[in-house]
């Protein structure tokens, strides 16, 4: 049995990972999470107390981080400011958490010689044209567009530098867009599902031609566990499940699945600097480490996600009004 520290474990993907680890391993997990607006302690409800403990705190708090690193075998680092639209409104927290927070963890990993896995995003590579046959690979040059993605790119580069300069035992993964339970209602899919539940028309930025490469959060978790167990130190692995869809198709599928007319949505102000298309080539992870995604059918994964939001209104309702009020100020 290993002892894992999971930063950001009360967020969307981090909490899915904690559930996955409890279900598929005998590891013990300590979650370190600041519980920002995006963190929700209830996402960890029902997990056994002898397997999961929770510490509320900031990854940029060096003393706390040092204390927690002393007692664990490995750290999986999910904590971040994660939403592009917020980063366009107020970039500062993105620098504090994504850059300084990651630096703080790297210094602790260096002091304690702790294995670290850094969670990152495909957005560090910028975007692709709709008709470009290319997909992102581990050797695609970094070209981030937004304050969010530039701070994630910066954090990746810090990890690479700490590996090379100080011998920190780290790996990095860059994943595409996740969907599934426990995702904050500010994000595209849960926003539109909860809009329909609330009889609000879904909101599509611009023409809706932007393409995202969707992967179920549980497949992201299994990939991270695979890298933690079998990944080569110092390496980067791209995680994706061949799930490219444009936003218009996703909104129409949500409406249809929820029994509404497919055209019952509004076009709203586009996102500034909106990346056009992301697409992941995950050949390295599949061939070198033998990983394969389990959720191959987006329609049924999305239907399960819709069911989850219908059944868990108490989880998302406290965030919904403030989220919509924020978007309303931006004409979105
Ligand atoms: P999220 O916003 O849902 O969760 C982030 C969590 O981090 C929250 O629980 C929050 O309270 C916590 N947190 C924020 N600042 C903190 C700090 N200073 N100290 C401690 N905890 C802090 O984000 P998410 O969508 O779950 O993303 C998790 C990670 O995965 C991020 O690193 C993100 O860049 C990456 N990622 C996300 C996606 C996606 O589709 N959502 C895809 C690829 C990679
Ligand atoms: O690619 C990985 C990234 O995916 C992660 O690094 C980010 O943390 C995560 O938030 C996500 O970024 P996106 O910006 O792609 O996700 P978001 O859910 O904000 O938007 C998805 C697409 O939907 C994007 O093209 C913008 C569009 N959109 C979004 C919202 C909230 C809409 O059309 N309408 C909306 O209301």
Examine residue 302 and state whether it is found in any structural domain, yes or no: no
On whether residue 59 sits in a domain, the answer given is yes
Q: What lines the ligand 2 site, CB under 6 Å?
A: 82-84, 121-123, 176-177, 187-188, 191, 203-205, 210, 212, 247, 271, 278
- How many whole angstroms separate alpha carbon 167 and alpha carbon 310? 47
Question: Domain for residue 69, yes or no?
Answer: yes
Q: Which residues of the chain form beta strands (DSSP E)?
A: 3-7, 28-33, 52-56, 74-77, 115-121, 170-175, 178-179, 203-205, 211-213, 215-216, 236-239, 244-246, 266-268
Q: What are the CA-CA distances from residue 108 to residues 155, 169, 234 (Å)?
A: 15, 12, 17
Residue 309 zone, left/alpha/beta (φ > 0; ψ -120 to 50; rest): alpha
Q: Contact 122/215 with Cβ under 8 angstroms? A: no
Structure tokens at 330: 């931006």
The CATH code of the domain that includes 141 is 3.40.50.720
Show pLDDT as tens, one digit a residue, over the chain (332 residues).
899 999 999 999 999 999 999 999 999 999 999 999 999 999 999 999 999 999 999 999 999 999 999 999 999 999 999 999 999 999 999 999 999 999 999 999 999 999 999 999 999 999 999 999 999 999 999 999 999 999 999 999 999 999 999 999 999 999 999 999 999 999 999 999 999 999 999 999 999 999 999 999 999 999 999 999 999 999 999 999 999 999 999 999 999 999 999 999 999 999 999 999 999 999 999 999 999 999 989 999 999 999 999 999 999 999 999 999 999 999 99
CA–CA dist 167, 300 (Å, integer): 44
Ligand nearest to the CA of 84: 2
In this structure, how many other beta carbons lie within 10 angstroms of the beta carbon of residue 206? 14
pLDDT value of position 1 = 81
240 three-class SS? coil
Number of domains in the chain: 1
Inside any domain, residue 205 = no
Helices (H) and strands (E) in the chain, counts: 12, 13
Active site residue 123: yes
**What is the C-alpha R_g of the chain?**
19
Look up the domain containing 79 and give its range: 3-184+214-244+275-296
- Distance, CA of 182 to CA of 224 (rounded, Å): 18
Residue of 7, 9, 10, 13 to test ligand 1 pocket, by largest number of atoms within 8 Å of CB: 13
Distance (Å, rounded) from C-alpha 121 to C-alpha 204? 22
Residue 198 lies in a domain: no
CA nearest neighbour of 81 among 142, 155, 30, 19: 155
Residue 42 lies in a domain: yes
Per residue in 86-101, is it b (16+ CB within 10 Å) or e — as a string?
A: bbeeebebbbebbbbb
Tokens of 170: 């780290």
Strands laid side by side in the 3-7 sheet: 52-56, 28-33, 3-7, 74-77, 115-121, 170-175, 236-239
Query: Is residue 331 situated within a structural domain?
Result: no
For residue 265, the 8-state DSSP code is -
Examine residue 291 and state whether it is found in any structural domain, yes or no: yes
The one catalytic residue in 33, 58, 81, 123 is 123
Query: What distance in Å separates the CA atoms of residue 143 and residue 130, rounded to the nearest whole number?
Result: 17
Q: Give the pLDDT score at 62.
A: 98
The ligand placed nearest to the CA atom of residue 43 is: 1
């Amino acid at each position: 049995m290993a002892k894992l520290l999971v930063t950001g474990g009360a967020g969307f993907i981090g909490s899915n990972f904690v559930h996955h680890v409890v279900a598929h391993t005998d590891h013990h997990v300590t979650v370190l999470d600041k519980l920002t607006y995006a963190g929700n302690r209830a996402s960890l409800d029902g997990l056994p107390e002898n397997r999961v403990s929770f510490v509320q705190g900031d990854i940029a708090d060096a003393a706390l981080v040092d204390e927690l690193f002393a007692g664990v075998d490995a750290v999986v680092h999910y904590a971040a400011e994660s939403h592009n639209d917020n980063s366009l409104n107020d970039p500062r927290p993105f620098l504090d958490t994504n850059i300084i927070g990651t630096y703080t963890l790297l210094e602790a990993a260096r002091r304690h010689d702790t294995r670290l896995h850094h969670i990152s995003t495909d957005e560090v590579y910028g975007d692709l044209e709709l008709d470009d046959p290319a997909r992102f690979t581990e050797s695609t040059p970094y070209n981030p567009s937004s304050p969010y993605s530039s701070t994630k790119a910066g954090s990746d580069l810090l990890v690479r530098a700490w590996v090379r300069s100080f011998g920190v035992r780290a790996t990095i993964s860059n994943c595409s867009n996740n969907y599934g339970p426990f995702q904050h209602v500010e994000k595209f899919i849960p926003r539109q599902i909860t809009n329909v539940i609330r009889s609000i028309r879904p909101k599509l930025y611009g023409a809706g031609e932007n393409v995202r490469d969707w992967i179920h959060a549980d497949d992201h978790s299994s990939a991270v566990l695979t890298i933690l167990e079998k990944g080569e130190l110092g390496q980067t692995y791209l995680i994706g499940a061949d799930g490219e869809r444009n936003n218009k198709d996703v909104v129409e599928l949500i409406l249809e699945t929820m029994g509404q007319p497919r055209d019952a949505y509004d076009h709203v102000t586009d996102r500034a600097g909106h990346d056009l298309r992301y697409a992941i080539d995950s050949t390295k992870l599949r061939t070198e480490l033998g990983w394969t995604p389990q959720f191959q059918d987006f329609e049924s994964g999305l239907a399960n996600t819709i069911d989850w939001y219908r059944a868990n209104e108490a989880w998302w309702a406290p965030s919904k009004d403030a989220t919509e009020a924020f978007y309303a100020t931006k004409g979105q």
